[in-house]
Amino acid sequence: MSEISTRYNPAETEEKWYRHWESSGYFKSVPDDREPFTIVIPPPNVTGVLHMGHLLNNTIQDILIRKARMDGKNACWVPGTDHASIATEAKVVRWLREEFKLRKADISREEFMQYAYQWKDKYGGIILQQLRRLGASCDWDRTAFTMDPQYYQDCVRMFVDLYEKGKLYRGLRMVNWDPEALTVLSNEEVIYSEENAQLFHLHYRLEGGEEGVVIATQRPETIFADVAVAVNPKDERFAHLVGKKVLIPLINRAIPVIADDYVDIEFGTGALKITPAHDPNDYEIGQRHQLPVIDILTDNGYLNEACGFEPLIGKERFEARKAIKPLLEAAGVLVKIQDYQTKIGRSERTNCVVEPKLSLQWFVKMTDLGAPALRAVMEGEIKFFPANFQNLYRNWMDNLRDWCISRQLWWGQRIPAWYLKAEANNKETAIFVAQSAEEALEKAKKATGNPQLTLEDLRQDEDVLDTWASSWLWPISVFNGFAEPEGEINYYYPTNVLVTGWDIIFFWVARMIMAGYEYKGERPFQSVYFTGMVRDKNRRKMSKSLGNSPDSLALLDTYGADGVRFGLMSSAAAGGDLIFDAPFGADGTILNESALCELGRNFCNKMWNALRLVKGWKTIEKAESEEILRKNELAVRWMTEKFQQTLAQVEADFQSYRLSEALKSLHALIWDDFCSWYLEMIKPGFEQPIDRGTYTATLHLYGNLLRALHPFMPFITEELWHQLENRPAGEDICAQSYPAQIPADQALIQQVESIKEVITKIREIRNQNQIKPKDPLEVCIQSSSSARQLFELTGAREMMEKMAVLSSLEFVETEPSNAKSFISGTDQYYVILNKQIDVEAERAKLTEELTYQQGFAASVEKKLSNEKFVSGAPAQVVENERKKLADANARIAILEESLRKL
RNA sequence: GGGCGCAUAGCUCAGCUGGUUCAGAGCAUCUGCCUUACAAGCAGAGGGUCGGAGGUUCGAAUCCUUCUGCGCCCA
């Protein structure tokens, strides 16, 4: 035994087993006659690295897929990566600058794409290697990428299809504009945070008079784009001004005063300048009142000619804000400046303040797409875990706005729309949306009636698709469902469950549901398991930029994949955030440590040492005595039933995706029931052998535990599975079936629980009286029918004698002297002590217990004497109460008797 | 401003359909053990008015109302 280390070494085993599993083809899936169980991975960014969120998310998927595999299903977990248009493009741009001293503007689109693919080939897919370290049992042959030629083609096909169905249009809309990256941003890419800002109070003079109105604005440089001043129609202060005109300071352009409910009477001065080109709300108000739009900013955020105020033309927006202040003061219109806090949106990538901008973009009409997607979730066709995410989902689906899917980037699927070169940029009237340039040309020839047109006369839209507008096709496209709708997608689709963070419920989950119904007429997945966010001790979301996230690979090194998986899962209820406990060092940097993962590592050690114990036993054919045999047989019976009891719980937990609960049940079963109780029950004396029957049964039980745990902790279970017994080739645990469920014998479990309770109470008395664990004790049992019944269970007496270390265990009619007593159930036990009992202390203890029992009995009696309870409550509940009362009364009788004798 | 959620032991959280598997787990704390698999361990213990108040019910941590204190999403 000395040759086996007392510590489990994950580094040695994990790589070995992963390689073995992969080369054995266990993770591969091809359609067959088994029931499929499909998961598509939420594709991580192709150039991303494994972070804590990935660890959690992919551990959950792996647990589900391994369980399904062991359940005999055709388990298929499709891995892949997302091209992550804006994030990757930003990285490529930086790489070009740093490695090649190139700016994006210096090279052609084609050259840029070549570099981008180079970058992708070099750094892409690292994360997929890292997922292997975690144990992820993906079918790697199916690895997909959202920019694969086939996937690209599906996006084009989708675009053309939506356009032809009238569900896609090109239009001028308010969008989030990043003036530095020069692209539209999705809402998700805009990070809002509280910042200090200033509220300028400006006086707008009434046309032809001195009176006027004071408005409050945070952006005085945009006054040149004002087209109105709005007040609330209920605001009496300004009622007389509505319909009149006021003059914009500095340029004295006249604009109307209008009334609109949007204006908050309480905020600022109650009067709001309306600047449709530079504020989304103002734009909507402008639309309502048919006001013009004056755009005074260039794409990179400089004031343009349209502002009509010479001194500021060509100034950057924030420069202009500084510059305008003295000018306003000089003009006598600056009433005051007020500091205040407001939410400012910045670009996730460039940290540049996002500019609302009116821009010509492609939009998907959401109303038609949203209806079936909302219905599916509300009617439970797609189930959410936890269910209350339905509310969040509905809230968003009820307020759908058209989806801007064009991005001014190169890295992505280029929008398949062509325009006539003869028409000016962004002024196109003729749009040809087609699968290819050639098709577009045909359409153009027809539409224009000009057969002389050539490809040279056409210009393709410069923009690419929003990343989500490709990833919403993921569950369909990874099975080539567009090109081969009758192919294997018919087998794998709809997928079984999607596992993802709730933060992308709108961006991805909702849209996949829409795409599913649009293109397959069917839900893309049966269930969605929402994971929580992994947060640090201060409840901040772990992120690279905050530097509060441990290095996930370092964690895997320190605790092993199983240790990390356990640490994450043991406290990650579905939807609940996970407060990860990695502490910070003195210098404020995150330490790659975790008490949670330590628990997982300790658990591995525990199982490892259980193996060392069991494998160290010598066996003999027959137990040395009948007593040992009876004890061991009871232990095996009990452990078998206990296993079944927990297994039923685990299966139920899997049904409702309560994976943390399932893991905790298995942890308790293995650590407490199996190691602390069962192994101690059957453990032979020092250097003593164990009977073969018990030994074989123990190996079998141990194997069952390993199989039940395997989905959660795949590596150590595989290692122990093979250490436990010599297995023929191919008998790997990951290809075993999950243990079969058989109803557990609850009565037997209850009887052994009673025995364990007595053992624990004897140990407690040992502790209190400083008796060494190995000193044998004499214990007497007050004779009663219930006590005799308990010990009629074969092996019960022997089990108690061993576990409590007793020299004798006898029934008595009268209380022995010099004994400490305790009550278990309704029976009294006496532990004989070779010393004088402190009578007063004993009396006090008994009296306290008696008082409690009497109070308890009284409360139960009161309940039972309530006619409404007896007639109203279910019979089982009433019966339970009667039993409680009877037991309490029995205990009271024992206590009173004991007190009398003292 | 609109919506959603949370409050249970010192900490982090379970607690599913209202009822003895209802007041739980892990960590932390305390006591005793280097016991022959494991000190990354073993045997025990203490600790809570389930945020406050009211209501429904035979019965409430659980359902309803309200207050307080915190999150989050959307505008």
pLDDT in tens, A263-310: 777 777 888 899 988 888 888 888 888 899 899 999 989 999 998 888
Token code pair at residue A624: 């040395």
Output the distance from A49 CA to B7 C1' rounded to whole Å: 36
Report how far apart, in Å, the C-alpha atoms of A808 and of each of A387, A423, A532, A571, A597 are.
Answer: 56, 104, 55, 45, 44
A455: CB within 7 A of chain B nucleic strand:
no
pLDDT of A873 reads 81
Residue A654: its H or E element = helix A626-655
Count the residues in chain A.
902
Output the distance from A774 CA to B35 C1' rounded to whole Å: 8
- pLDDT at A17 > cutoff 50: yes
Give the separation between CA A216 and CA A353, rounded to whole angstroms: 20
A800: CB within 7 A of chain B nucleic strand:
no
Cβ atoms of A465 and A22 within 8 Å: the answer is: no
Output the distance from A573 CA to B14 C1' rounded to whole Å: 9
Positions 375-404 in A, CB within 7 angstroms of strand B: 388, 391-392, 395-396, 399
Cβ atoms of A493 and A461 within 8 Å: the answer is: no
A595: CB within 7 A of chain B nucleic strand:
yes
A605: CB within 7 A of chain B nucleic strand:
yes
Output the distance from A395 CA to B2 C1' rounded to whole Å: 10
Model confidence band, residue A2 (pLDDT cutoffs 50, 70, 90) = very low
ipTM of this complex prediction, to 2 decimal places: 0.94
Output the distance from A579 CA to B13 C1' rounded to whole Å: 10
Give burial (CB, 10 Å; 0-12/13-18/19+) of A626: exposed
pLDDT of A1 reads 41
A187: CB within 7 A of chain B nucleic strand:
yes
List, in sequence order, every residue forming a beta bridge with A76; answer none if it has no partner. Answer: A38
% of chain A with per-residue pLDDT over 70: 99
Q: Find which nucleotide's C1' atom is closest to A607's CA.
A: B38
- Of A263-277, A478-492, A629-643, A719-733, where does mean pLDDT reach its minimum? A263-277
Positions 654-693 in A, CB within 7 angstroms of strand B: 656, 658, 661, 664, 668, 671, 675-676, 679-680, 683, 685-686
Q: Which of chain B's bases lie under 7 Å from a protein CB?
A: 2-6, 12-16, 19-21, 25-27, 31-33, 35-45, 57-59, 73-75
Q: Which residue has the higher pLDDT, A891 or A210?
A: A891
| Chain mean pLDDT for chain A | 90
A782: CB within 7 A of chain B nucleic strand:
no
Output the distance from A901 CA to B64 C1' rounded to whole Å: 54
- pLDDT at A188 > cutoff 70: no
Give the phi and the psi of residue A801 in degrees, each rounded to 5: -60, -40
pTM recorded for the entire structure:
0.90
Model confidence band, residue A663 (pLDDT cutoffs 50, 70, 90) = very high
Token code pair at residue A329: 């003061």
Give the separation between CA A734 and CA A811, rounded to whole angstroms: 51
A767: CB within 7 A of chain B nucleic strand:
yes
pLDDT of A48 reads 86
Output the distance from A520 CA to B25 C1' rounded to whole Å: 45
Output the distance from A524 CA to B64 C1' rounded to whole Å: 38
Output the distance from A505 CA to B65 C1' rounded to whole Å: 33
pLDDT in tens, A433-448: 999 999 999 999 999 9
Give the separation between CA A842 and CA A782, rounded to whole angstroms: 18
List, in sequence order, every residue forming a beta bridge with A423; answer none if it has no partner. Answer: none
